[in-house]
């Protein structure tokens, strides 16, 4: 019987995620969550203890999905530089499809709550650090394969890529046209000290 219960829980998390993503933690009421999930308040509190408890689990779900997507793209390609280029191609497609400017749930949450909630800040920082580490690993592999300049710092370049991703995620709330994203991504990738063969 555990499997159906888990399925229901995941369904609730996905529905709650859409609400939190659209209106933020502070802007979301328990009434909003009850309406979205079709759970009674008692069931919601019984399963997640509080709105915050539900939100923390939503963040974990969103972050794990993000880590899986990034890992699949970056770590399963014979050419590390091609993997990074493919990541940004997919990233460009994702943000171009974000026609309501909702951005990234983790970045949005950091902007909303980082100065007020140490636990949430540390949780999301940990997930973002894992993504940054994947970039650093990929850039290190690129260096080992001779695709990246020997004097480059994979760790510093990983931070550079993350800063640009953050910037575009924040910018997405203004819903710029796709040529803006394309220009930023092209300049970001051109800034990498790639060795031409």
How would you write the pLDDT of the chain (197 residues) with one tens digit per residue? 344 444 478 999 999 999 999 999 999 999 999 999 988 888 888 899 999 999 999 999 999 999 999 999 998 889 999 999 999 999 988 888 877 778 899 999 999 998 999 999 999 999 999 999 999 999 999 999 999 999 999 999 999 999 999 999 888 877 878 888 899 999 999 999 999 87
Q: Which of 105, 82, 104, 81 is nearest to 94 (CA)?
A: 104
CB 121 within 8 A of CB 98: no
CB 123 within 8 A of CB 56: yes
Q: Which two tokens stand for residue 58?
A: 């939503």
103: left (phi over 0), alpha (psi -120 to 50) or beta: left
CB 95 within 8 A of CB 164: no
């Amino acid at each position: 019987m555990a499997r159906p219960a888990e399925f229901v829980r995941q369904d609730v998390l996905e529905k709650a995620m859409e609400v939190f993503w659209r209106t933020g933690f502070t802007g979301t009421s328990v009434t909003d969550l009850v309406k979205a999930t079709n759970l009674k308040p008692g069931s919601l509190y019984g399963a997640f203890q509080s709105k915050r408890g539900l939100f923390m689990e939503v963040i974990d779900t969103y972050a794990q999905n993000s880590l899986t997507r990034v890992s699949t793209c970056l770590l399963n390609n014979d050419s590390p530089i091609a993997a990074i280029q493919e990541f940004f191609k997919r990233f460009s497609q994702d943000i171009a499809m974000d026609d309501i400017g909702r951005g990234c749930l983790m970045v949005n949450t950091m902007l909303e709550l980082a100065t007020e909630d140490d636990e949430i800040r540390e949780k999301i920082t940990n997930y973002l650090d894992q993504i940054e580490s994947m970039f650093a690993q990929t850039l290190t592999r690129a260096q080992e394969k001779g695709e990246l300049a020997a004097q480059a710092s994979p760790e510093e370049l990983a931070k550079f890529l993350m800063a640009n991703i953050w910037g575009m995620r924040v910018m997405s709330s203004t819903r710029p046209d796709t040529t803006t994203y394309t220009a930023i991504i092209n300049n970001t990738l051109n800034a990498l000290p790639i060795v031409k063969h």
